[in-house]
Amino acid sequence: MSSQKIVLSWKGKKFDLEAEPNDTLADIRFKILSCTEVSPEHQKLIVAGKTLKAEEENFFKLNPKNKDLFMIEMKKPANPIPTSVAEDDDDDVESKDNKGKAADAMDVEKEEGDIPTGLKNLGNTCFMNATIQCLNTVPIIRKSLADSPNIDESDPNDATFTRSLGKLIGEISKSEYNFIIPDNFLSSLEKRYPEMVEKDEKLPVFVQQDAEECWLKILSSLNRSLKTKDGVSIKKYFSGQFETTLTNTESKEEEPIANHEEFLKIATGITKESRHLNQSILESFTQTLEKESPTLGRSAKYESKTLISRLPEYLTIHLLRFEFRKGVTNTAKIMKEVDLPMELNMAHHCTKPLKEKFLKVQRHLEKVHDSPESVTETFDQVVDPEIKADVGSNQTGLYELTALITHQGRSANSGHYIAWARVDESEYPSGYDKHKRNADMKLWYQFNDHEVTMLYQKDIRNLFGGRGDSPTAYLGLYSAKKLE
């Protein structure tokens, strides 16, 4: 079956689109988003006077006569769904009504104490916008970028690219407007990583890219070029160490092979049994494979077991939600829910020596919490000296979820990326008593391109999957837990 040509009518303009054989109406909505910047939840699509609603249905079934040209008219619904997923009558945490209303909202100045600045989508550049907003949550990156002498000039390409990112993040923090246009940084991204900025052959937009790939490329450039004011590479704060042991399960005589490898992320598969991040990590860290055995002189089964020998201060988690399926042209998305804990203990995924060091510290912290009067040692006294001296490492094995990048849609080649970030308590609205709120009422930001809104932590739990075409957690950023 060939593709279906579509002509979309919107605000007196015509847009030419194409539907692939496996596209659902939800897929079409994201293609419309690419050329009109109207979010799927704000689209009212009309064909021959009938409003389309069958989101999961194959788009071709909506055109039973198989017309060569399919005409769609779009209008905004009378009562569009709010962009914020938070619903509460607490006046202290409501977002500003004029925040990110439309593309011309850039001329609306923010008020003192307003929420952060958004980034305009330049045509399928949501992957870049979401990545930048997540990076902007990391204080050590913001501080280091603000001081240009911290940039290593040994690779001119990385140095120029890093300065461009620093300029954009500086503009975000100082801007007096609801959003800014990141066109200069997009040009820098194209020069440094041209594969990330490709023009669509059929539409006046860019080809959708993978936010995780964008995250790793930008982070890799920062790792090579950016240092703190103390001369420490940013890489120390984001990279960990794997220790993988390969054991022949068919021969006790064959010595296990140990391998050490640096990592910038932990990629976790999603199986039928996966329900929690810790479980997904365990499954991903234990694999079976077949290879030639030098001892047996034939192919044999091996077990590969991975443990962590160094944990960074910032831990990137990549949920592998896309897979190739037989009979499907594009990559299919795994929608299954996987719980990402707000607080994550990574000690049990570490090598025995590191695990014991972390557990010693954690027992101390529990004692401080439960019976502080019985504590005889300080935190510095219980932290292992080697870990304490390792700048950029996690000293406790404990993390808290700091930011997320979600993907909305059914395929890696389309859809929409949104960033979500925990609000620092110093930025809470005046009058919001954080001490009288439970954990679910902590505040987060939603960065949906130029629209930035505030919501509660309880709403973040709706992003973990299993909810159809709603935003689904794809990349998580954990930071070492702050000790009060």
The pLDDT value recorded for residue 4 is 74
Per-residue burial over 462-484, b if 16 or more Cβ lie within 10 Å, else e, is: bbbbeeebebbbbbbbbbbbeee
Q: Could you please report the per-residue DSSP string of 440-458? A: GG-EEEEEETTEEEEEEHH
The pLDDT value recorded for residue 148 is 66
pTM, rounded to two decimals: 0.79
pLDDT per residue over 299-351, tens digit each? 999 999 999 999 999 999 999 998 766 555 567 788 888 999 999 999 999 99
Report the C-alpha gap between 66 and 69 in whole angstroms: 8
The pLDDT value recorded for residue 238 is 98
What angle do helix axes 183-192 and 126-135 make, rounded to 10 degrees? 100
Q: Within the chain, which residue ranges are assigned CATH 3.90.70.10?
A: 91-238+312-350+397-480
C-alpha pair distances (Å), 250 with each of 288, 293, 405 = 12, 9, 42
Q: What is the bridge-based pairing of β-strands 4-10 and 314-319?
A: unpaired
CATH assignment of 4-75, among 3.10.20.90, 2.60.40.420, 3.40.50.2020, 3.40.50.150 = 3.10.20.90
pLDDT per residue over 279-295, tens digit each? 999 999 999 999 999 99
Residue 257, C-beta contacts closer than 8 angstroms, at least 6 positions apart: 245, 246
Q: Within the chain, which residue ranges are assigned CATH 3.10.20.90?
A: 4-75
Q: What is the pLDDT along the chain (484 residues), one digit of tens a residue?
A: 567 788 888 777 787 777 777 777 777 777 787 677 676 767 888 877 777 776 656 666 666 455 555 677 776 554 333 333 333 333 333 333 333 333 333 445 555 456 899 999 998 999 999 999 999 999 999 999 997 678 999 999 999 999 999 999 999 998 888 899 999 999 999 999 999 999 887 777 888 899 999 999 999 999 999 999 899 999 999 999 999 999 999 999 999 999 999 999 999 989 888 889 999 999 999 999 999 999 999 999 999 999 999 999 999 999 999 876 655 556 778 888 899 999 999 999 999 999 999 999 999 999 998 888 888 889 999 999 999 999 999 999 999 999 999 999 877 777 899 999 999 888 887 767 765 567 888 899 999 999 999 999 999 999 998 777 789 999 999 999 987 6
Q: Which of 131, 173, 440, 471 lies closest to 335, judged by CA?
A: 471
- The pair of structure tokens assigned to 342 is 């707000």
Q: Which of 131, 160, 169 lies closest to 226, judged by CA?
A: 160
Q: Which of 47, 32, 114, 21 lies closest to 416, judged by CA?
A: 32
Statement: 91-238+312-350+397-480 belongs to CATH 3.90.70.10: yes
CB 427 within 8 A of CB 93: no
